[in-house]
A and B are shown apart, each in its own frame.
Chain A
Amino acid sequence: MKQEKAASATATSSPLSPGFNERAYLHAHPDVAAAIVRGDVESGKDHFLKYGSQEGRDSLNPALDPLDQLVIASTARELNSRPSLAHFLETIIVSRSGGVFVVGWVDDSESPLERIRLTAADWRLSMDGRSLARVRRADVEDALGKPISHSFGYFGFLFADRSLQRVGEVKAEIITKSGETAECQCQVRMVEDLELRDIALQYLAEAHHFGNQQIKGIACIDRAIGQQLINLNTHITANITATPYVEWFGTDIKKPKGSIIVCLYGKAEYLFLQNALHSQAKGIEDYEFIYVSNSPELAERLLNDARASSLLYGINQAVVVLPGNAGFGAANNAAARASRSGRVIIMNPDVFPRERDWAAKHSALLASQPAVQTKLFGIPLYYDDGSLMHGGMYFELDKGLSIEGFTMHQSHLVRVEHYGKGAPGKGSEFARPRAVPAVTGAFISAERDWYEELGGFTEDYIFGHYEDGDLCLKSMERGVAPWLQDLHLWHLEGKGSTRRPVHEGGSLVNRWMFSTRWGATVMDGLLGPNPTHKLLKAG
């Protein structure tokens, strides 16, 4: 690019000739776009003819490729046709139910972005610049030659809950506070709602920020995007759980003492493993299992395995197949609706008996303990090495400080901690029966009426995380503290499903939502391992 300044004097602006796509070329080579902004070259074609072809740049039209010369393909970038405001609106993706996701960058280091206005044939949308998530774009910093701590990148998300059928080009206007405006035409990609959610979450998970990644990652969705993602997810979840396929296996129990609900995702083997290992538990014949699958691709295998396992182990069970990933909360709620007993036992797929009589003990416990202590309870869980994995949960507050340039951002995020994690297993004080602020969703036994009164798991959380704490806090809010009772199971924590970057994006949203909803409650007597809340004094 060093020759560009001198060359620009002789370059002439010419209409785009057939075969050269100016827009695509600038899209692919953001440094050229930046050079135009600086006035170094007149246009992308001008650059390609004078330098690009010699440098082996991809014209994005094979007919223009130089012969016998390697062409370096580039990732897509683009600049608007008006070089006054350096920006590029890289992606606009919409979903059928009105989700809109935009990604791009803009040099608004001197005057902040005020809005992005999108105008399609049959809809318009103005996105508030302050609601956009701003992210670090090292590639843009390089291309613009501006190594400053400014987040040039942005992404925005909005869920309109309106059916969008037509796709095509939209006119995009990028407007700064000072009134600078750039326009461009953008091709819109149409995807399903679920795909758009995952694209947005993955982008959120992989975005780079100046300062603390997690704090800034959460802060950037605080204004609007977090709630919009939740709205889309709720819409998706409602559709997925609307018409589950339910098939029962085994012989009917007249009145099961409990319904063990297991949510499966990505791994089918836990159905037969749990069947095999729990089938030896004394008293298990009084319980039914309900496997609810968030992985539709596993449906055939799960149904086959359930059929075989019922023959092998005599477990009474149902398989609830959902046509997509509804997330942990909604899937468990769907399974709870299919259950036939007065008690729901939420169990992770990688929870196995440590005591051969745990089911009988569970039944005895319900009969012998005060009702308030069994309305909702968890139990100590153990890692495979015998150490304690879970002895109840408590809440901590992370006070995060992130510094970007001369701006400091402080945030308060609620963190969930397990009592005694990793402590020696035998006779641990942490495993003592008592009232606790919360228990893990890996095992929750709840009176069905109470579970339903609480509204079950809150379905807003994306995929999974924090629903257990949320459920327990709802219970506390209504006057019943969760208990830790004297039963003991293995839990191979985190090994019951497969995690992908999109799940990390979901976790960021969930933590933001959990902190927003429960931050004040937690600070009011529920903070730390020794909370002062009145309901916990009984323990």
Chain B
Amino acid sequence: MRSTTESRPLKVLLLSLFHPELVRGGAQQVCYELFQGLKEIEGIEPTLLSAVDPSFKALYKAGARITGFDGRPGEFVFLGRDYDYWWHRSGSHLLVESYIEFLETLQPDVVHFHHFLLYGIDFVTLTRKTLPNARIVFTLHEFLTICAADGQMVRRSDKSLCSRPSSIRCHQCFPERGPEEFFTRELWMKRHLSEVDMFTTPTRFMLAHFEQWGLPPEKLVYVTNGQPDYSRGENHVKEREKRNRFGFFGQMVDNKGVWVILQAVALLRAEGFTDFVVELNGENLQYASPERRTEIEKFLEEEKELPSHERIVQLNGGYQVDQLAYRMARVDWCIVASVWWEAFALVISEAWMFKRPVICSNIGAMAERVVHEQNGLNFAVADPRSLADTIKRACTEEGLWDKIVAQITPPPPREDMVNGFLELYRGAAKSAETKEVPAHAH
């Protein structure tokens, strides 16, 4: 690999699942932030390749498999097709040939997989075969390599959290597939991951999961996600007598736990505690399971029927980053009620940008970032009773909000992330055990 001290710049190819301007999502947002950040570094020449699926048919030019994107320098689109969502591989040898040609043309020094979905996990091996000397960095945004259940490590049978995959346990999630298939799936995934030079995760608990699964610990490195400060220093915090306004920000799919919030509200209302409001800022309810979707829609319908002064929950719909300030100004606390582990939970960073304390589930990335009674409050995951008690306490305990807000530190800025990855690109990363976590990570 070349160093940036040579005359030729260090070429970094970032592979992203979707482009954040086509499909919103944490992984692609972080990848795009990294791309923007790298562009500002002298001696680095980043290229972004964003995969799309055939639902974006307007982007599919006849006979093309990789094209530019919107006339932007350094940005390309990978026109995925025939993707095998079980084995995670591209079904077309033409895509393989086009990707080889793209690599040979670009000659990147570093290929950074910010995701493999829509390319195929075998593209890691293809990259290694095409560019034997390139450094391959692989960011793990969820557990898709370990877990066939959308990488969430939530058991499909009873929705409980899974921390220990095995052939038999995975078969129990997919009874139609034999245990051997999961054994083979693991061999398949690990075969391709063996070509990776360094893995990164944005939280420490993920390191443990992947190390336990068998990835070499010396290749596992923590690199935080980072974003620009969308608040621009304006946190819109005003003096108020009560701190009884709560906000949810995110997708309204099952694993984000909107249903936990609504059930907590119902419990408190039944007890006669109604002096609080919950604002839901989110969309994509259509991707929730039919049962949860019906539950949420029914709750919101009934809420609408109530006189305005009795309403507690309000649905504000989806939002863009530039609307965050306005939406955050309307709440005192942010609730992150996810019932899966979360890899990083960008929404926590967004809350902290505006000095909003977070109430979150006591697992995974959420518990790692939000320390109970210090910079936020935890409640028992998937437990509406526990959340109801926490909401009530947040509304009524004098001085609690101020005490917690005082301990909120700014979320990791984009520079931390860019520097973390640059270190890896330059091949100077230390192992996960010795590497210092950026101070802003917690």
Contacts and interface: CB of A to CB of B under 8 A. Distances in A.
A311 B97 CA distance: 8
Interface in B132-172: 167
A242 interface: no
A276 B188 contact: yes
B423 interface: no
Nearest to A301: B91
B180 A280 contact: no
Interface in B89-109: 89-93, 96-97, 100
A245 B388 CA distance: 68
Contact of A273 (B129, B178, B179, B188): B188
A273 B184 contact: yes
A487 to B, nearest CB: 18
Contacts of B188: 273, 276-277
Nearest to B178: A495
Contacts of B126: 311-312
Interface in A257-299: 269, 272-273, 276-277, 280
B234 interface: no
A276 B180 contact: no
Given A311-B96, A311-B100, A492-B184, A280 B167 contact: no
Nearest to A493: B180
B129 A313 contact: yes
B167 A312 contact: no
Contact of B184 (A307, A312, A352): A352
Contacts of B192: 276
Contacts of B91: 301, 304
A538 to B, nearest CB: 35
A308 B184 contact: no
A277 B125 contact: no
A381 B92 CA distance: 33
B53 to A, nearest CB: 19
Contact of B180 (A269, A313, A495): A495
Interface centre among A277, A352, A384 (most CB of B within 10 A): A384
B96 A280 contact: no
Interface centre among A307, A312, A385 (most CB of B within 10 A): A312
A305 B100 CA distance: 16
A114 interface: no
A314 interface: yes
Nearest to B179: A384
B97 A277 contact: no
A311 B122 CA distance: 11
Given A280-B191, A304-B93, A312 B183 contact: no
Nearest to A270: B184
B187 A308 contact: no
Given A269-B87, A313-B125, A350-B180, A277 B187 contact: yes
A280 B181 contact: no
Nearest to B192: A276
A350 B183 CA distance: 11
Interface string A475-506: 00000000000000010100100000000000
Contacts of A308: 90, 92-93, 96
Interface string B100-131: 10000000000000000000001001100100
Contacts of B100: 311
A385 B192 CA distance: 22
B294 interface: no
Contacts of A385: 167, 179
Interface string A295-339: 000000100110110011110000000000000000000000000
B180 A384 contact: yes
B322 to A, nearest CB: 42
B249 to A, nearest CB: 40
Interface string A375-400: 00000000011000000000000000
Contacts of B181: 495
Contact of B187 (A301, A304, A352): A352
Contact of B93 (A269, A273, A311, A495): A311
Contacts of A312: 96, 122, 125-126, 129
A532 B187 CA distance: 41
A277 B87 CA distance: 13
A384 B179 CA distance: 8
B194 interface: yes
Given A311-B126, A350-B180, A277 B191 contact: yes
Interface in A485-529: 490, 492, 495
A298 to B, nearest CB: 13
Interface string B178-204: 111101100110011010000000000
A482 B100 CA distance: 45
Contact of A276 (B92, B93, B96, B125): B125
A492 B96 contact: no
Nearest to A353: B187
A217 to B, nearest CB: 27
Interface centre among B91, B100, B184, B194 (most CB of A within 10 A): B184
Contacts of A313: 125, 129
Interface string A189-212: 000000000000000000000000
Contacts of A305: 93
A273 B92 CA distance: 15
Interface centre among A280, A308, A314, A385 (most CB of B within 10 A): A308
13 contacts: A272-B87, A272-B89, A273-B87, A273-B184, A276-B191, A276-B192, A311-B129, A312-B126, A313-B125, A313-B129, A350-B184, A352-B184, A384-B167
Give the top 8 A-B pairs by smallest Cβ distance, nearest first: A384-B183, A308-B93, A492-B180, A307-B93, A308-B96, A495-B180, A312-B126, A384-B180
Interface of B: 87, 89-93, 96-97, 100, 122, 125-126, 129, 167, 178-181, 183-184, 187-188, 191-192, 194
Given A269-B87, A495-B180, 8 more contacts: A272-B89, A277-B191, A304-B92, A308-B96, A311-B126, A352-B187, A384-B180, A495-B178
